[in-house]
Amino acid sequence: MNRKRLSIKNLTITLPQGADRKFAVNDVSLDLYANEILCIVGESGSGKSLLSNAIMGLLPDGVTASQGEIDFNGDNLLTYNEEQMRKIRGAHIGMVFQDPMTALNPLKTIGKQISEMFTIHTKLSKQEINQKVISLLTDVQMPNPLSVAKAYPHQLSGGQRQRAMIAMALALEPAILIADEPTTALDVTTQACILALIRELQSRKGTAVLFITHDFGVVADIATRIAVMQQGKLVEQGFANEVLNAPTHPYTQALIAAVPPLTPGDVRRINKEIILEVNNLSKTYHNHSFFKQNRRTTYAVDNVSFKLHRGSTLGIVGESGSGKSTLARCIIKLLEIDSGQINFENVDIARLKGKKLKHYSRHIQMVFQDPYASLNPRRKVGDQVTIGPILHGITKQQAIEKAKALFNMVGLESEALNRYPHEFSGGQRQRIGLARALALEPKILIADEPVSALDVSVQAQVLELLTQLRKQLGLTVLFITHDLRVAAQICDHIIVMKSGKIVEQGIASQVFLNPTAPYTKDLLDAVPGRGWNPHRLIDMSPAIHI
């Protein structure tokens, strides 16, 4: 066995009074070795992120490590003060956070932020530091490192920002790298690049990697060993092959069973009636810079045409920047289009305004990717669900009764109408978003990445709910996602978009099993854990509730 880099012994992390439970982490012991990737998996609230924060000395106010040790090079990090921990962070233990946009300073260039690591921890000259910065950006396969070094975080894509975070974390070649959900919101090709980069750096430098995730596909691709956490407790750990292919704990079995297979289900009989037809739709963005050389036009949606069958689910897949979310916002009239037609039940709604638009807009509703951001934190969720029906003419009491029925339909208690968004979990907030969208009895539901940030078990529940609602209410669904496993399970037809254009479309089984476009093949090849099939190992419904 390689050298032990870190040893967590009987660690307990206590939450403030009034929390849902007393302990965030309860008597957990783990070892991390050089030249390995230890994946910690579990649902939101399992304690995995607070475990990593404890290692870095970054526990929130009121949260304390009340018991145990974190042994690093013979010292207990829990006894270190802030000044001592500053010498450990970055130099000996690096960390890549889940959301690089909030972790990076928006007022400083990428190069400046990376160079600070050397300025604080070394005595290198300014020229040597600049060379190191460019070398690091090259190591993380950043295109045009010189330009990236001069760029600010908002000028980079999500994948590029994550690479910059990895470059910063690895600047001083720490013995340990902690990666907290570093690929959760990334599309499959960018995700594959990030995972390959972490694997390659870990192998080349012998780094010990603590990788926190809820994505078992990612785990299947990179893990040396796996530790499974549930409500603060470590319920199972072992080598990756053992845990993935022969899990012993019921919780691990349930998590793995909830992973959607990449193979589409049986083809449904589809209604031939067309409810929505989009013809030659285009949307461009113009950057009106003062300098001519910086002016550019972005073709977000470029001459897109497709048909949506009544009662079916059409999936739109593609990388970030492919235009899929812009297309959805054009259909729902959140964005004005440049050209084309949006025919809903044989009426072109693209140019409608005022009362005519209001009449048709209730029939096309949207569920957004981030339910917390799309819900007003200052208003009770009941008020947010009832406001639409009230504006469209029914009484407040009727709207409340309708909201209660909708909450029961999506699996929430009617008493929850009187609570605020922050009082719900991510999965519950997504159910509230569904209830709000369904309150106007739409004929088309647009779901924009509705499960991308959810745990696999909660994701399975939301997908099951969408399927039930489609059958129960006769809904037609436009489902936007970068998760091809999810698309395979829920969609009847698939559209593949790249750079604003449709590169392939057809029946889901045809696109997944016999793709014709090279880009579609690349997307499928990049799906994490593609060669691992959990459903041949465990006979358990993927819609299991945990």
DSSP one-letter string for 162-218: HHHHHHHHTTT--SEEEEESTTTTS-HHHHHHHHHHHHHHHHHHT-EEEEEES-HHH
Euclidean distance between CA atoms 371 and 140, whole angstroms: 32
Give tens-digit pLDDT for 440-471: 889 999 998 888 767 777 788 888 888 888 88
Euclidean distance between CA atoms 432 and 89, whole angstroms: 40
Euclidean distance between CA atoms 452 and 456, whole angstroms: 9
Per-residue pLDDT, 205: 80
Euclidean distance between CA atoms 422 and 100, whole angstroms: 23
- C-beta of residue 159 within 8 angstroms of C-beta of residue 193: yes
Q: What CATH homologous superfamily does 274-287+299-526 map to?
A: P-loop containing nucleotide triphosphate hydrolases (3.40.50.300)
Euclidean distance between CA atoms 428 and 8, whole angstroms: 33
Per-residue pLDDT, 545: 30
Euclidean distance between CA atoms 30 and 8, whole angstroms: 5
| DSSP-assigned beta bridge partners for residue 506 | 494
- C-beta of residue 43 within 8 angstroms of C-beta of residue 458: yes
319 has pLDDT over 90: no
For the chain, domain boundaries: 35-45+82-223+232-258, 274-287+299-526
294 has pLDDT over 60: no
pTM score of the predicted model: 0.79
Give tens-digit pLDDT for 473-484: 889 999 998 889
Percent pLDDT > 70 in the chain is: 95
Q: Higher confidence at residue 266 or residue 519?
A: 519
Per-residue pLDDT, 71: 96
What are 418's two structure tokens?
A: 């009187």
Count of residues making up the chain: 546
Percent pLDDT > 90 in the chain is: 47
Mutual angle of helices 426-438 and 456-473, in 10-degree steps = 20
| DSSP for residue 94 | E
Instruction: Identify the residue whose tokens are 């990376």.
Output: 114
What are 16's two structure tokens?
A: 């403030």
Sheet holding 493-498, edge to edge: 364-367, 444-448, 476-481, 313-317, 493-498, 501-507
One CATH from 3.40.50.300, 3.40.50.800, 2.60.120.890, 3.20.20.70 for 35-45+82-223+232-258: 3.40.50.300
Q: Higher confidence at residue 295 or residue 96?
A: 96
- C-beta of residue 183 within 8 angstroms of C-beta of residue 313: no
- C-beta of residue 243 within 8 angstroms of C-beta of residue 257: no
The letter for the amino acid at 100 is P
Judge whether 35-45+82-223+232-258 and 274-287+299-526 match in fold.
Answer: yes
Give tens-digit pLDDT for 171-199: 888 899 999 888 776 778 878 888 888 88
- C-beta of residue 303 within 8 angstroms of C-beta of residue 268: no
543 has pLDDT over 60: no
Q: Which residues contact 116 (CB under 8 A, 6 or more apart)?
A: none
